[in-house]
Amino acid sequence: MKFLVTGSGGQLGNGWQRILKERSNDFVALDRGGLDICDVESIAKALDTHEPDVCVNTAAYTQVEKAETQTEEAYLGNVLGPKLLAEACAARGIQMVHYSTDYVFSGKLTDREIFEEGYPEDAPTDPINRYGATKFEGEQAVFKALPTALVLRVSWLCGLDGNNFVKAIINRAKTMGQLRVVNDQFGVPSFVPDVVEQSLFLIHHKQSGLFHLGSDGCISWYDFAKKIMEDAQVDVLIEAVDSSAFPTVAKRPHFSKLATKRLNDLGMPIHSWEIGCKTLVSALNDE
Ligand SMILES: NC(=O)c1ccc[n+]([C@@H]2O[C@H](COP(=O)([O-])OP(=O)(O)OC[C@H]3O[C@@H](n4cnc5c(N)ncnc54)[C@H](OP(=O)(O)O)[C@@H]3O)[C@@H](O)[C@H]2O)c1
């Protein structure tokens, strides 16, 4: 099975490459220069040159704050691009894997009582911000063009590459000596290696449709920061604060845990977030 990975310079794109390389899988990973998801000719050229069986789309417009004003750019990267890629895959009989986000939900704290295990795949969507709205529109565009596509939602993505909370918090602790972290937003991290393994499981089991990926558990960013510091053995004062201490342009969810039961029921074990955190911090230490 040959894989083509788009968005190769991003956090998840790099994670995919690490695992495919480790396993000696047949794959090609392309950045925007090699395959621009918003350019029909670029897509056709890449797909016809490399002839993959599976196209893994990790490319996206991911600037949550800027998406509130850069509406055209967010639309291109998160709606038009996935739509064009899905249409091209459909025309060539290529399976497509596409990623989406917890921000497709409203993220109300009261949803924590309704969805104790997290939002299931069929929970009503109500995107919390512009980025979430474009990602939701992208999901629909992909399914319209390629009903057998795999659309995989992840939350709080963290891996070895790119920017993420784990790397940011370690850097901030080391440079500032103390931390203030939000304690009224709850969810769970998705660690890149788990996301890739879970995606591969679904691909190999010939699944299609919508799935939630990630880790087991539900925590606040403050809980996450405490565990990162413990694993990194950095002794630092961490103050728990409300979201109001960090005003943002884009609204952030108070609850955005994604339930992974659908995936788990197929036989894929879901690791606890603590294991994922320890593994990532240890890998960062080894770099
Ligand atoms: N990060 C999170 O916490 C999070 C949470 C939930 C869901 N997700 C989803 O998970 C997926 C992967 O996210 P990530 O964190 O890996 O994102 P990322 O690190 O920002 O990487 C996105 C990549 O997409 C590329 N890209 C953007 N527009 C493109 C285009 N038109 N053609 C080709 N490449 C393009 C970017 O390249 P340039 O450098 O050239 O722009 C970048 O390398 C996305 O679908 C995202 O929405 C992420």
pLDDT digits (tens, 9 = 90+) for 170-190: 999 999 989 999 999 999 999
Contact present, 37 and 142 (Cβ < 8 Å): no
pLDDT in tens, 14-70: 999 999 999 999 999 999 999 999 999 999 999 999 999 999 999 999 999 999 999
pLDDT of residue 287: 83
Q: What are phi and psi of 206, to 5 degrees?
A: 55, 40
Residue 228 in any domain: the answer is: no
pLDDT in tens, 245-266: 999 999 999 999 999 999 999 9
Contacts of 103 (CB under 8 A, 6+ apart): 64, 127, 128, 129, 131, 132, 135, 253, 256
Nearest CA to ligand 1 atom 4: 157
Rounded to whole angstroms, the Cα distance separating 168 from 157 reads 13
Residue 280 in any domain: the answer is: no
Which ligand 1 atom minimizes the distance to the CA of 37?
32
Residue 237 in any domain: the answer is: no
pLDDT in tens, 117-162: 999 999 999 999 999 999 999 999 999 999 999 999 999 999 999 9
pLDDT of residue 158: 98
Residue 84 clears pLDDT 90, i.e. is over it: yes
Residue 278 in any domain: the answer is: no
Contact present, 255 and 219 (Cβ < 8 Å): no
Which H or E element spans position 95? Answer: strand 95-101
Residue 285 in any domain: the answer is: no
Nearest CA to ligand 1 atom 19: 10
Residue 48 in any domain: the answer is: yes
Give the active site residues.
Answer: 131
- Ligand 1 pocket residues where CB is under 6 Å: 6-7, 9-13, 32, 36-38, 58-62, 77, 81, 99, 101, 135, 154-157, 162
Residue 180 in any domain: the answer is: no
Tell me the best of 4, 6, 12 to mutate to test the pocket of ligand 1, counting ligand atoms within 8 Å of each CB and taking the most: 12
Tell me the best of 66, 102, 157 to mutate to test the pocket of ligand 1, counting ligand atoms within 8 Å of each CB and taking the most: 157
Nearest CA to ligand 1 atom 33: 32
Tell me the angle at which helices 221-232 and 273-286 cross, rounded to the nearest 10 degrees: 40
Residue 169 in any domain: the answer is: no
**Domain total for the chain?**
1
Question: What's the domain range around 134?
Answer: 2-164+189-214+257-273
pLDDT in tens, 204-218: 999 999 999 999 999
**Domain containing 15 — which CATH number?**
3.40.50.720
Within 13 Å and on the Cβ side, how many CA atoms surround 89? 32
Rounded to whole angstroms, the Cα distance separating 45 from 125 reads 35
Which H or E element spans position 2? Answer: strand 2-6
